[in-house]
A and B are shown apart, each in its own frame.
Chain A
Amino acid sequence: MSILVDKDTKVIVQGFTGREGSFHSQQCIDYGTQIVGGVTPNKGGEEHLGLPIFNTVKEAIEQTNATVSLIFVPPRFVADAIMEAASAKIKLAVVITENAPVKDIQMAKDYATKNGMQILGPNCPGIITADECKIGIMPANIFKKGNVGVISKSGTLTYEVSHQIAQVGLGVSTAIGIGGDPIIGLSFKDLLLMFEYDDNTDIMVIIGEIGGDLEIQAATFIEKNITKPVVAFIAGQTAPKGKRMGHAGAIISGSKGSAKEKMEALEKAGVIVVVSPADIGKAIKESMDKYIRVM
């Protein structure tokens, strides 16, 4: 088991024939992901990467039974693409697109929720269940199979942490980038709960950053609902106030959204909070050893 996706997951790609869409779809296929087709309006009936292209998501689902859509369309079309997927009853949209207008994502997420569709991202690297299924743009070779669940706002830190996990002799069950935008789909707490009930996951690591309060919401949630150990790192401990640090959502507004505030809340909730980004793997290993002894 794992969460959200596995070797049986059938995936379509919206924005299949573009440069990014083509390159990363091929990488996913090479990993073993069941990409079953793509959607590019006006190219329906043609083939790409040896797979069928459809004009609409609805048509693609009817023909392929896909449940997940990987979205690469340019930012100005991304809300439309998400809502089309939701309307066609896709279960999970993985949105890689960066620089989407906040208002568009607000609307698209609202509509997706009404239609029972979950979203990862936007502006995220995607999701990978090690050795089974990769839906996104992450470098596959870094992820070794194991029992650590990874949830991160940042792409490169997902890789960094998964690499550290491998270095301490462990591996990941599922690793998920949730994105660093002001409004995102699935958040830490949603995914923590899925990991809590996943038999293949024994410990979770969350990588947060400055801006917003998802980490604080996670802290409250962990205290009440999570029994498995959680390790956390918050990036931007030395970031100045009022400055956007790369990600659209990574900004301390007034006194809100600082790393300190988040680290304190998580610590209070019993989470093992790591100060140095070099120590995350080590901390996971230590708490895992302790956890296993207790069990």
Chain B
Amino acid sequence: MNIHEYQVKKIFDEYNLPIPKGSIINNYHDAINAAIEIGGKMWVIKAQIHSGGRGLAGGVKLAHSLKEVESLCKDMLGSKLVTNQTGPQGKIVEKVYIERGVNILYELYIAIALDRSIEMPVIIASGEGGVEIEKTAEEHPEKIIKIAIDPTIGFQDFHGRELAFKLNIPHDDVPRFVNFAKILYKIYMQDDAELIEINPLVKTKNGNYLALDGKMGLDDSALYRHRDLEELRDRHEENQVEAEAKEYGLSYVKLEGNVGCMVNGAGLAMATMDIISYSKGNAANFLDVGGGANANTVSKGFEIILRDKNVKSIFVNIFGGIVRCDRIANGILEATKNVHIGVPVIVRLDGTNAQIGSKLLKEANIPNLIVASNLEDGAQKAVNAAKE
């Protein structure tokens, strides 16, 4: 689960990780009062959407007067922001964060994430803070510093010093930097984060390190022990169809093609997308109906797939295991009664009782329900049907 910048900063503040003073608003009438409360002569107005690349897309602006604060908030609230990560449909800005402007001495990049190849959290830092960190990582990997932290010993001062010296941080600043990194690691571990990223982390002219931005992703599987964090979920930011599918135990991801897929198991679901592509077609979605595919899950699956108007055919690819194919076939037949499908459905059943299942489907004689003889045949038939 991802959370908003203003929520991340509230967490930082609770752990005494320094942030600039700021305030969240959803109505521009509150902008001036918020800015007066924050104080100072310069404010940063930041669109609160779950996406990187906000700065380049016009979602982060500087205001030099209260009037400007108000007019920028007015423009930004309710507007659509299209970043390089939102896709062309963009996202509507429902909240803006007003923050006190600071005088920056230098900028850094710092993040913590799991390094899967060594199975430990790793602190990633760079002296090249700012917007284009991905570019730096690709073009100048030597400018990105990585230090693994073994959770058995946790973050030690030597980790922080190593980071600080590699970043060429001025000697007087080292203790403060070490402390900052130490708190960041503590947040990462205590809150079961998948990722924390601060870009930029700045040193101000009055001597503080401040997190000017904050991004945080949380381990969904650990949310049960963080009820307070679970409350930060912003349903508007989640793909509505994906979230609905999840409530029914289905795992759905929309894609750009026109062959809908319904599959049991995540690996087979990915492989189904692949074989559709191999058969010169394009999958409209990833959909894993889980191990216990039955009439209910199959009906819901059809309903969700068909919300995507690009879908011209549906490939149901089921490998029956403990759940036998004859039961799945009955589930499919029942689902075709519950849901108006309207596009050809190609079913491939294999595994336990596959022949009985396929026979049931054939005998039902439902128009537009085609039984495939194997995986390859099913994919090809589904692709052909989508082309007609």
Contact = CB atoms under 8 A, between A and B. Distances in A.
B265 A139 contact: no
Interface string B266-284: 1111111111111000110
Contact of A106 (B120, B225, B253, B375): B120
Interface residues of A, number: 59
Interface string A89-116: 0000000000111111011011000000
A99 B267 contact: no
Contact of A163 (B265, B291, B350): B350
A160 B268 contact: yes
A154 B221 contact: no
Given A110-B152, A157-B265, A247-B267, A139 B114 contact: no
Given A142-B321, A156-B264, 7 more contacts: A102-B222, A103-B222, A163-B319, A183-B114, A236-B274, A247-B266, A275-B278
A276 B189 contact: no
Nearest to B267: A154
A30 to B, nearest CB: 12
A217 interface: yes
Interface residues of B, number: 54
B352 interface: yes
A101 B219 contact: yes
A239 interface: yes
A142 B354 CA distance: 12
Contacts, number: 161
Contact of A276 (B264, B275, B283): B275
Given A106-B151, A163-B350, A209-B267, A246 B251 contact: yes
A245 B134 CA distance: 23
B194 interface: yes
B278 A154 contact: no
Given A156-B265, A213-B116, A255-B138, A139 B253 contact: no
Given A106-B151, A243-B253, A245-B253, A182 B265 contact: no
10 contacts: A163-B351, A235-B271, A239-B273, A244-B253, A245-B266, A247-B266, A254-B137, A276-B376, A277-B268, A277-B375
B271 A233 contact: yes
A240 B256 CA distance: 10
A25 B276 CA distance: 37
A139 B275 contact: no
A107 B119 CA distance: 10
A250 B278 contact: no
A278 B319 CA distance: 13
A109 B114 CA distance: 15
B288 interface: yes
B376 A154 contact: no
A160 B266 contact: no
Contacts of A104: 222
B274 to A, nearest CB: 5
Interface in A26-65: 27
Contact of A180 (B267, B375, B376): B267
B274 A238 contact: yes
Interface in A201-225: 207, 209-213, 217
B322 interface: yes
B192 interface: yes
Given A236-B270, A250-B266, A254-B134, A138 B119 contact: no
A82 interface: no
Contacts of A245: 251, 253, 266, 269-270, 286
